[in-house]
Structure 1
Amino acid sequence: MQNTITLIFILLLKIGYSQNSIINGVLLDKNTNESLSYVNIGVLKKGIGTVSKSNGSFSLNIKHIQETDTVKFSALGYKPLIFSVKNLVEKLNNNPNLKMEENIEVLDEVIIVSKKEWKEKTLGSETKSTSMTMGFSSNLGSELGRRINISRKHTHILKFKANVALNTYKSIKLRLNFYTIKNGLPNEKINRENIYVNFFDKSGSLTVDLEKYKLVVSDDIIVTLEWVDNYGDGQFRISSRLGTSGIKQKDASLDSWRTLPFTLGYNILVRY
């Protein structure tokens, strides 16, 4: 009899998940109660994820996942939140607000190297191809990136450029990320604050001035664009070409990275 009751409970729980396949909540700063925009939200190892909206609200489809799967909330400058699907559903049913705690880090010492003469150089690809292009997946939080080789210590990143082959959105909001490399794939973020860029044109150069972010690197990096928001419906395509650096791609927030046998029209202006 007890086994029968347990089985019925499990079936009802699964039916409940299938009927309520979308879970909703709001992400807030624990200390200020301010909403947290564009937080990465993902089901680990499932390729399912999204980002929170500008007002901190989020919706996540859990129809095709198990109650024991893990959901992670991750934002630059905050401690991650990690729940099982079952615990997350229960928590949101009691209170739709999830609060994230700021992660106070001691910044590494910045070494200023005095040189009589600085050199500037463009690294990466400047392709403007419209026949070979790459777009994001259908999920907010998807990323597209490429490796850029750094040959000098204390290289200052001054500017980022990409060539947009096609944009049919009224506007699209992207997050620019810089990563260290492990096993050929993105590892840890280098930038300590979010770098956002809005693009409104139909095509052309997407340029980000980076001098105020004080990005200094001494090893190879991977630079990515992450889709976090848009206005209207449409497509967004970035110029690409055949190349050995490979496109680093993930389909959703906190998804696994993969490499495709092409390279993107990304380049950075550096000073060393």
Structure 2
Amino acid sequence: MKRLVDPKFTLLSLLLLCTCTSLFAQMLKGTMYDAQTGEVIPYASAGVKNRSRGGIADRNGEYTIKLSGLAPTDSLVFSHIGYATLIFRVSDIDTAGRLDVKLVPRATSLSEVTVSVQREMLMLGSDKASSRYTGWGDYSSSRGRTRGLQLTPDKLPFKAVTFACRMKEMTFDSVKMRLNILGKVKGEPHLQQILQQNIYFNIYKDAKWVTVDLTPYKIVLTDTVVLAVEWVDAWMPAKTAGGNSCQLTIALGKDMGYFYERNTPNERPVLRQSMELPVMYLKGYKVGSADK
């Protein structure tokens, strides 16, 4: 006998299906703020845990995350150096509207190191460039994209005083980058940011070598780390504004080691063996008893 279907039930099912489809087909947007000062936080990370979704907020603290294809159990992660990380399940938020996020600053303590005598300067990384390169080009999708290499100091602890990187091509008016130093943290399965402050630096058109003074940050390495640079913003020449023709590339060398790459802040990064590593390095010295 043919079974009759209640038209009201069919209509209700279609409405529910459309609701579920629209829920995960939209873009979640919002602004990230400092919970204490109320000021916007530029370049904070906003994405989906272990997925290549999201990126970093723009210079006005605004972020966008594509929700299509996500499960209700997926986690949205909002983080920034110097702030406590916030994590929300997709099922716990109102995806139909904006989600403005307030990050709470956390107390930090920097180790004190006093330079009292001349030190033997050491270099970690490479300063020899080949004709090969890696880098960025598209203004809109490059924010959060990170490239770097693994470093193992011969002498520990190592006090970093200078960072340097060799550009291959730079045709933007300027690009703002963020330095990353990642290491092992007890209880965490993946490499974590060990810097306690954001270290931003600008690269200007036609730049070759870019250097950053690290002495104000009191960075002391005690183990193998990953040194990397992250694209956070860019300004294009007026004639190419709105286009994607500008380029920023970093020279590659011929040293064997481990190449680090990550395209969004919350995806699992790749650390692969390579004979072509980004030409970047840290200079510093071994910390002795006289420095403590």
CA RMSD between the two structures: 2.7
Contact kept, 8 Å, 1:161 with 1:266, in 2: the verdict is: yes
CA 235–13 in structure 1, closer or farther in 2 if over 3 Å, else same: farther
The aligned residue for residue 266 of structure 1 is: 280
Q: Between Structure 1 and Structure 2, whose CA radius of gyration is higher?
A: 2
Shift of 1:59: 1.8
Q: SS where residue 128 of structure 2 aligns?
A: coil
Which structure carries more strand by proportion? 1
Q: Conserved in 2, the CA contact under 8 Å of 1:140 and 1:253? A: no
> CA 1:10 to 1:259, structure 2 compared with 1: closer, same or farther past 3 Å?
farther
Q: What are the superposed Cα offsets for residues 164-199 of structure 1, whole Å, 9 maximum, x if unpaired?
A: 1012222111100111148xx971222210000111
Amino acid at match of 1:12: C
Residue in 2 aligned with 1:76?
81
Counterpart position of 2:125: 124
Partner of 1:59: 64
- When normalised by structure 2's length, the TM-score is 0.80
Corresponding residue for residue 147 of structure 1? 150
Partner of 1:206: 210
| CA 1:38–1:119: 2 relative to 1, 3 Å | same
1:49-198 pair list within 5 angstroms: 49-90=54-95, 93=97, 96-105=99-108, 107=109, 110=112, 117-129=118-130, 131-136=131-136, 138-181=141-184, 187-198=191-202
In structure 2, how many angstroms separate the alpha carbons of the residues matched to 1:54 and 1:170? 16
Aligned pair in 2 of structure 1 residues 9, 245: CA closer, same or farther (>3 Å)? farther
Partner of 2:290: none
Q: How many correspondences in the alignment?
A: 264
Q: What secondary structure sits across from 2:54 in the alignment?
A: strand
Distance change (3 Å), C-alpha of 1:75 and 1:218: same
Q: TM-score, normalised by structure 1?
A: 0.86
**Gaps in structure 1 of 5+ consecutive residues:** none
Matches within 5 A, 1:13-32: 13-17=19-23, 21-32=26-37
1:6 Cα shift? 7.3
In structure 2, the CA distance between the partners of 1:10 and 1:84, relative to structure 1 (3 Å rule), is farther
